Structure formats: structure tokens, C-alpha cells
Amino acid sequence: MREGKSKNIFVSGAIAPAFIADSIEKHTVKTGIGGHSIFLGQVRADEKDGHRVSAIEYTAYEDMANEKMEVIREAIFEKYPLTCMHVYHSLGIVKTGELCLFVFTSAPHRKAAIDACEEVVERLKAELPVWGREVLDNETHQWKVNR
Amino acid sequence: MREGKSKNIFVSGAIAPAFIADSIEKHTVKTGIGGHSIFLGQVRADEKDGHRVSAIEYTAYEDMANEKMEVIREAIFEKYPLTCMHVYHSLGIVKTGELCLFVFTSAPHRKAAIDACEEVVERLKAELPVWGREVLDNETHQWKVNR
Amino acid sequence: MEMTVLLFGRLAEIAGTAKLIIPAVEDTGVLAAVMHERYPEMATVRYIMAVDRQTVTSPVLLTAQNSVAMLPPFSGG
Amino acid sequence: MEMTVLLFGRLAEIAGTAKLIIPAVEDTGVLAAVMHERYPEMATVRYIMAVDRQTVTSPVLLTAQNSVAMLPPFSGG
């Protein structure tokens, strides 16, 4: 993996539904596609010690995360007959109810798109150096723990 | 299952990306959701005996399909801890590159949303009385076969 | 007494209509025989029957009140 | 000779900065010891080190050219 060659998966703030619609729309011309699988992460208003999460502030080791994502992308394309794959992750503040992750896989047949999407979600949660700082409604915060 | 009580899953023609964006947007207020899984079926320009599919025309036994979908919905909600689930299927002509199926599941945690979405897609393809008539670019047609 | 038979997909194409009114028959087995006689091509097509929107796998008794449908293999999605 | 250490998540919070310039050390083991001495709270935090954007699980030699980072458990998505 050469440095500086990776796509940038990060976007500032929440991912807008209109952005997702645009991404979907762009695949109309790829008439070999039969199925798309999409995963969206949404910030949940969890309760922590009696206080409610009002937002998550994401930071990342961006260069490393983009390089890691490229490794994952190559492994996924080797494993599944995909037509394409797109991943976007928020940085900065994302409020509860807003979207922080958008994984989008497309393939001629549904099985590849569905399996690849799930695997990408699992791998990126485990492997990408990204951190979520949960902002609570009493102005304190705590670091998110993935389960 | 009482007759006439089922939701109608059918929409006329292709499913627009903007409609999908609207559906996603509506979930912003459901702050208990942590993940959404979406499957989209797209009409593929398959080659059949030297001719290319230019569209699929869908017909359905609508009352039966909606009742069956209600049975599937109840089974899925019993099996997975979901927040909500939406299914839309096209009727009539859907051109290649356009979307004919939209399955959308949401849950507090990703696993339930992802597994439920996949199971709904598999079940509806096997169990809903819907038929696709592939229109070929030489004006002939043939009946679609699910694999 | 008459009964209505709904036809879908290729079966509707063979019959040239999605809805047939035929003299009432006693069960789904007889119905199949009647249909095959009227539309011999139907005997060559794979299909199942639904009575009141439930698929049936063995012959069931019919009354004119039942809604009967002939369903080729599904191909939605 | 100096080296740069990138800090993330809770570790950046403990140090009050996301980037530290420290006198060069010979390997990641010594770096951890230096950091724990400077910020005792770091010794109580779970983290891994990355050298040139690759995580390392046992101590590796360092030069000032390496980019070193200390990474708490990931929690993206």
C-alpha cells in the first residue's frame, strides 16, 4: 500500500440522506448490478449513568484508517464478486438520530452484495482507528466502547 | 390474518432514490436506532438468447402478497429485536438500472437489522406471489426465473 | 353456479386474461383438469393453486365463495 | 534527535494534545515507559501502538523517521 494513494472515507459531520440518494442514483448506469446492500450507522440516544447521549464526536487517525480501509476493500473484492463498494464515515459532531456511517455494496447477485456489506461493517468497526466521544446531556462525556 | 388489514407494499413503477432518502430521513426522530440495513433490487440488463433485457414488468396477486408479507413481518419481529421494517416492491414497468425492491430494517444494534433484512429479502422472493416479465430489446419477452 | 379463477404470469398469458368465470367445480383437482382441457399449454407449465390466498398442495374442496388462483413460480424482487 | 508521537481518543485527552514532540527513544517499549512516566494515567488505559500506520504487538525499534501513534480501543461506526 503506497502512502497517499487511498481514497478518503471521511466526511465532516453527519451523512445526509440526500447524499445517500445521490450515491444510489449514480448506479443507474451500471446495468450489470442486480442488488445493493446498504448499512447505515445512526447515533443512538443511549442512557449512561442516568444521562442521555446527545451526540458523538468522532476523531480518527485518518491516514492509517484510509490505508486500512484500502486493505479491507482489496480483500473484499477478492472474496466477493462485487461491482462496486463505497464507505463513508463521519468526523466531528454527529447528533443522535443522525447518520455516522454509510457502507454501500453492489453486485450482479444479492448474496455477494449482502455478505460483503456485512463483512465490511464488521471489519471497519474492528480495524479502523476511529474513536467516538459520547457527549452527554449534562455536558460531560465518555469514550464510546464498541461491542 | 384478517382480510384487508395488511399494509400495501406495492408502488407503481420504479422506486426513486429520493423516496429512499425520505424513508431514511423519517427515522431521525427514532433515537433508539443504532443501525439500518437496506436491500435494493435493481433491474439487471441480462443477456437472454442474444437479446438484452431492457425492462421488467411486474405483476402480483396483490391481496395475497400483502397478506403473506404481513405474516413474514410478524415472524421477523418475533425473531429479531427490530425498531421498524419497511418493504416496497414495484408493479408495472421498471427499466434496467432502476430499482424494483426496497427492504429497510432498523434496530438498536446492527446485527438484528442486518440479519432481519437478509431474511426478509430471501423470504419475500420465495413466498410473495409476484411475477417479473422480462422485456427484451427485440420486443419479445420471457418470464423471469428467480435463482 | 359459477366460480372465478384468477390467473397470473404465464398462465394469464396463455388464457389471454387474468380472470376467468367458469362453471363451478368440486375441487382444485377437477379445476386443474378443466383448465388443462381448455388450455392444453397450461398442462406444460409449473404452477400451484391458492384458495382464499393460501397455497394448497393437495386437492381441496371448493365452493363458489372461494377465490381460486393459479400461480406460476414466483419471480419477484 | 526528536520524534513525534500522535495521540488519539482518551490518550490525547490525558496529554492535553494530539501530537507530542519528545526526545527520540530506541523502541516502542521505551516509548511506553517514557509516556507512562510523563502521564501516569496512560498506564491505566488500554491502547496499542502503531508505527508507520501499522499496529505493532511486540516492541519494535524506532528511528526519528518513524511516525508513532498510540491508539486506544477503536470505536468507530
pLDDT digits 0-9 by tens, C32-54 = 999 999 999 999 999 999 999 99
Count chain B–chain C contacts defined by CB atoms under 8 A: 67
Q: How far apart are CA A41 and CA A102, in angstroms?
A: 7
Tell me whether residues C77 and B125 touch, CB distance under 8 A: yes
Identify the contact set of chain D against chain A, taking CB-CB distances under 8 A: 6, 8-10, 12, 50, 53, 69, 71-77
Which pLDDT tens digit goes with each residue over A28-68? 999 999 999 999 999 999 998 889 999 999 999 999 999 99
Which pLDDT tens digit goes with each residue over D28-44? 999 999 999 999 999 99
- Picking from D65, D55, D20, D62, the residue whose alpha carbon sits closest to that of residue D39 is D20
Higher pLDDT, D1 or A37: A37
Which pLDDT tens digit goes with each residue over D10-33? 999 999 999 999 999 999 999 999
Q: What is the DSSP string of B110-142?
A: HHHHHHHHHHHHHHHHHHS-EEEEEEETTS-EE
ipTM: 0.95
The model's pTM? 0.95
- The reported pLDDT for the residue numbered B1 is 41
Tell me whether residues C74 and B127 touch, CB distance under 8 A: yes
Which chain A residue is nearest to residue D54, measuring alpha carbons?
A: A64
What are the cell numbers at B116? 432481519
Identify the contact set of chain B against chain A, taking CB-CB distances under 8 A: 17-18, 20-22, 24-25, 27-45, 96-99, 106, 108-110, 113-114, 117-118, 121, 147
Mean pLDDT in consecutive groups of 10 residues from the start of chain B, 147 residues: 70 98 98 98 93 96 98 98 98 98 98 98 98 93 86
In the three-class reduction of DSSP (H, G, I as helix; E, B as strand; rest coil), residue B43 is classed as coil
Chain B residues closer than 8 Å to A96 by CB: 31
Tell me whether residues A130 and D76 touch, CB distance under 8 A: yes
Contacts of A128 (CB under 8 A, 6+ apart): A60, A65, A68, A69, A89, D74, D76
- The reported pLDDT for the residue numbered B49 is 82
Q: Give chain A's residues under pLDDT 50.
A: 1-4
In the three-class reduction of DSSP (H, G, I as helix; E, B as strand; rest coil), residue A55 is classed as strand
